[in-house]
Structure 1
Amino acid sequence: MLRNRDNAYGLIAILFHWTIAALFVGQILLGLATQWVASLALQFTLIQWHKSFGFLILGLAALRLFWALASRRPARPRDFSRTEWLAAKLVQASLYVLMLAVPLAGWALVSTSTLGVPTFAFNMFVIPHLPLARSEAAEHFWRDVHEWLAYGTALVAAGHMLAALRHHFWLGDGILKRMLQPGAESPNRGTVKGQKAAGR
């Protein structure tokens, strides 16, 4: 079950989803930690790790987008209204864009920094800077863009998560299971509710 089916996600799509989600949560915490520590040496180390994981997310997000475009897309679950499905697709598309935009803005930030500190990706190799002019104004601009995009992504992801939990625990329609188990299909929402009402 590596590939998507007509009504189910495959293992590759699921791994992309949860790996990027876990990395993003870690990045939010790591980014906040760089502002809390007092030691400049520790702060430098944390920033380097933050940049390294940012480039990892950028690469994975690009691969995930390619996989999504090249793979079969699971059909709209039964009993899902068209409006509900379009809203879910809009949130999903927004997350695709934001997962690319946040690390790209971070890359622009370090590229325009007047400090000119290189990025040592996982202490293995140096990531070159983007061909952007360095200035304090540009650095502040891209810092604000990076932060606001990150916070915006966190809000969209939180809404996405709450909607998934609502479907799983309140509506009981099996939507969340599709992203937890390769090949899992969503049962009819009304059927699930009927089973609960019958005490099954």
Structure 2
Amino acid sequence: MTWKNTNDRWGSVSQLLHWLIVLMILGLGTVGLVMTEMRNSPDKIQIYLLHKSFGLTVLALITLRLLWRLYAGAPRPVPGTPHWQERIATLTHGALYALVFAMPLSGWVLNSAAGFPLRWFELFNLPPIAAKSESLHELAEQVHEWLFWTLIALALVHAAAAIYHHVFQRDATLARMLPRGWLRAPATSPTPPLTEEHRDVA
């Protein structure tokens, strides 16, 4: 496994960032749905603080992942993939990037409009990005929730497409976003046999 992306598969850095962001978003979403129903208490305040800190961490990670992708490039489409599927995949990836950026940013606006300090894991404060405003707070709260459900819906479509490619298209779309050997492309994959010069990056 190489650190950088190759023409045939995602490298270890991209894989790590991808799955780490996925897990963090799932955790943040679950905690976010639960914490709003909790009674006011020191525990609830602490959970909110952690939720904000991990949200900011996701913002940093998605920025890092985008910069890494610009630097390392992306694998070519799996051979045999129709052009319309390539276009949909490109649009879906772009929308996912935008939503993952927008979620923590909307939370930052929400926190700023409420007039609360924003502290990252009790280490340092971040400046507000909006003035205190009750109307903006209510709007940001609605947008934050709407973005979350939109992100979840699109992520499910993205995951379903990857599974479809593995089970029905029988290609390496899903396998190349996992560490080598975790999931192999089916034997009848349309991907042509690798030449000797590419075997070490497949």
Larger RCO: 1 or 2 (CA < 8 Å, sep 6+): 1
Contact 2:165 2:171 in 1 (8 A): yes
Q: What residue in structure 1 maps to residue 20 of structure 2?
A: 19
1:148/1:46 Cα in 2 relative to 1: closer, same or farther (>3 Å)? Answer: same
Contact 2:79 2:191 in 1 (8 A): no
Q: What residue in structure 2 maps to residue 117 of structure 1?
A: 116
- Provide structure 2 residue ranges, at least 5 long, that are not aligned to the other structure: 193-202
TM-score, length-scaled by structure 2: 0.87
Residue type at the aligned position of 1:121: W
Shift of residue 171 of structure 1? 2.9
Q: What residue in structure 2 maps to residue 32 of structure 1?
A: 33
Shift of residue 186 of structure 1? 6.2
Cα deviation 1:27-54 (Å, max 9, x = unaligned)? 1011111112124222211111110000
Greater shift in the superposed pair: 118-127 or 6-15: 118-127
Residue type at the aligned position of 2:110: L
Q: What residue in structure 1 maps to residue 170 of structure 2?
A: 172
What do you get for the CA RMSD once the two structures are aligned? 2.1
Q: What residue in structure 2 maps to residue 92 of structure 1?
A: 93
What is the rounded CA distance, in whole Å, between the counterparts of 1:65 and 1:185 in structure 2? 26
Residue type at the aligned position of 1:34: M
Q: What residue in structure 2 maps to residue 195 of structure 1?
A: none
Shift of residue 164 of structure 1? 1.1
Alignment of 1:35-184 (within 5 A): 35-113=36-114, 116-130=115-129, 132-181=130-179
What is the rounded CA distance, in whole Å, between the counterparts of 2:180 and 2:100 in structure 1? 23
Shift of residue 170 of structure 1? 3.0
TM-score, length-scaled by structure 1: 0.87
Cα deviation 1:82-124 (Å, max 9, x = unaligned)? 00111111111111111111100110110111xx221221122
| Count of paired positions | 189
Cα deviation 1:17-74 (Å, max 9, x = unaligned)? 0000000000101111111212422221111111000000000001111111111221
Contact 2:165 2:173 in 1 (8 A): yes
Contact 1:7 1:185 in 2 (8 A): no
What is the rounded CA distance, in whole Å, between the counterparts of 1:11 and 1:48 in structure 2? 31
- Provide structure 1 residue ranges, at least 5 long, that are not aligned to the other structure: 193-200
What is the rounded CA distance, in whole Å, between the counterparts of 2:166 and 2:23 in structure 1? 20
